[in-house]
Amino acid sequence: MQLISVVDLFCGVGGMTHGLVKEGFRVVAGIDADPTCKYAYEANNPGARFIERDLEEMSADDILSLYPKESLQILVGCAPCQPFSRYSQRYAKQSNKDEKWRLVRAFGRLVGKIKPTIVSMENVPELERHPVFAGFVAILRKGGYHIWYDVVDCADYGVPQTRKRLVLLASQLGPIQIISKTHRKPRTVVAVIGSLPSIGAGQQSKNDPLHRASGVSGLNLRRLRHTPEGGTWRNWPKELVLKCHKKETGHSYGSIYGRMWWEKPAPTITTEFHAIGSGRFGHPEQDRALSLREGAMLQTFPKGYEFVKYGDDWSIGTVARHIGNAVPVRLARVIARSIEKHLREQPAQKRTDK
């Protein structure tokens, strides 16, 4: 059987890689410009090498050299999606408009030159509406790829969040698409994190340093105590409501300082999930925001996933950024199963032509 090898671009702490590895794929390397991701990536994904490089500075030959000879080449990647957030689009200066697309363009450039057998890209839904995505698809069409893409509701595949993502799959072997939905009912917050021990704001579990929550000011603690499960600032006494919320424009931010529901999926886990003022990230009943471990588990990382080396100094903000930026492991496993199904269905001669 032909050797199959994967390179993961913009790999971060390894959400995509871990999902692929769990489904039996050999990931030979992950590439990311952030050196603080190295420990988590390599500690949890034995055999996958972390390469600290800027993709814009890498050549096709640099990446081709990572694949073993005669292997079927799979290239996956999720270019950092902050440039496509609604907030940044609203406030970005026009002069920086082209800057938003550079990492997706770098991905497309490499795909066009490497011509891997299979390509997968995961990103925010907003990307689909931008010319840079049309350019990426055009590169694939020019290369003779069969292409599938759609905005996927991650809850349909076992990710316990109201998270929607643009997923693209492309193959030179034949038609490819994501597998059928795996979950009729969404997984809930209580099913995923309900068994973790109770901790207070600013505290961490004795048994798990990642089950650690940010501190909360006295004023915000009062606000939390007036917020029921699923509630928001609208449940507070008038004297606790922020001035910005009293304005007409503030009414659109209904989830800020909100608590999650136990029996519903979590909101989309962002890089700021550790802060109660960044969205509906309040614990359903404890007076604090989500802990790092809770955020990671809602991102479907295994409970024992190591994000920091024991004894090293680290900040909540850095680890939260790593977790929020990651591809949910469960979604990565679904992408892996989709690729595996596609490969299984291809005639043997097609797989050895490359």
Side-chain-side CA neighbours of 173 within 13 Å: the count stands at 26
Mean local confidence (pLDDT), 27-56:
97
Same domain, 217 and 337: no
Q: What percent of the chain shows pLDDT beyond 90?
A: 83
CATH (domain of 344): 3.40.50.150
Same domain, 30 and 121: yes
Same domain, 133 and 241: no
Domain that holds residue 296: 189-325
Identify the helix (H) or strand (E) that includes residue 192: helix 189-193
Token pair, residue 74, equals 């799979």
Token pair, residue 147, equals 């292409």
Residue 114 reports pLDDT greater than 70 = yes
Same domain, 42 and 178: yes
Higher pLDDT, 260 or 256: 260
Query: According to the model, what pLDDT value does residue 91 have?
Result: 37
pLDDT band, very low/low/confident/very high, at 254 (cuts 50, 70, 90): low
CB-CB contact of 121 with 76 (8 Å) = yes
Residue 104 reports pLDDT greater than 80 = yes
Mean local confidence (pLDDT), 251-261:
78
Mean local confidence (pLDDT), 105-113:
96
Mean local confidence (pLDDT), 311-326:
96
Same domain, 136 and 16: yes
Query: According to the model, what pLDDT value does residue 76 have?
Result: 98
Residue 169 reports pLDDT greater than 90 = yes
Query: According to the model, what pLDDT value does residue 1 have?
Result: 67
Q: What percent of the chain shows pLDDT beyond 70?
A: 89
Same domain, 201 and 319: yes
User: Based on the structure, what is the number of domains in the chain?
Assistant: 2
CB-CB contact of 14 with 41 (8 Å) = yes
Dump pLDDT digits (tens) for 74-99. 999 998 855 444 434 443 444 345 56
Lowest mean per-residue pLDDT among 48-62, 94-108, 177-191, 229-243: 94-108
Same domain, 104 and 15: yes
If you average pLDDT over every residue of the chain, what do you get?
91
Q: Helices (H) and strands (E) in the chain — how many of each? A: 13, 7
Query: According to the model, what pLDDT value does residue 98 have?
Result: 55
Same domain, 161 and 35: yes
Query: According to the model, what pLDDT value does residue 60 have?
Result: 97
Same domain, 24 and 162: yes
Mean local confidence (pLDDT), 161-183:
97
* Strand, helix or coil for residue 127: helix
Q: Kindly report the pTM of this predicted structure.
A: 0.92
CB-CB contact of 270 with 86 (8 Å) = no
Same domain, 200 and 98: no
Residues forming beta bridges with residue 161, ordered by sequence position:
266
CATH (domain of 309): 3.90.120.10
Mean local confidence (pLDDT), 121-149:
96
Identify the helix (H) or strand (E) that includes residue 50: strand 49-52
Same domain, 111 and 254: no
Kindly list the catalytic residues: 81
Dump pLDDT digits (tens) for 278-288. 999 999 999 99
Residue 192 and residue 170: Cα distance in Å, rounded? 32
Query: According to the model, what pLDDT value does residue 84 have?
Result: 41
Same domain, 175 and 219: no
Token pair, residue 284, equals 């359903």
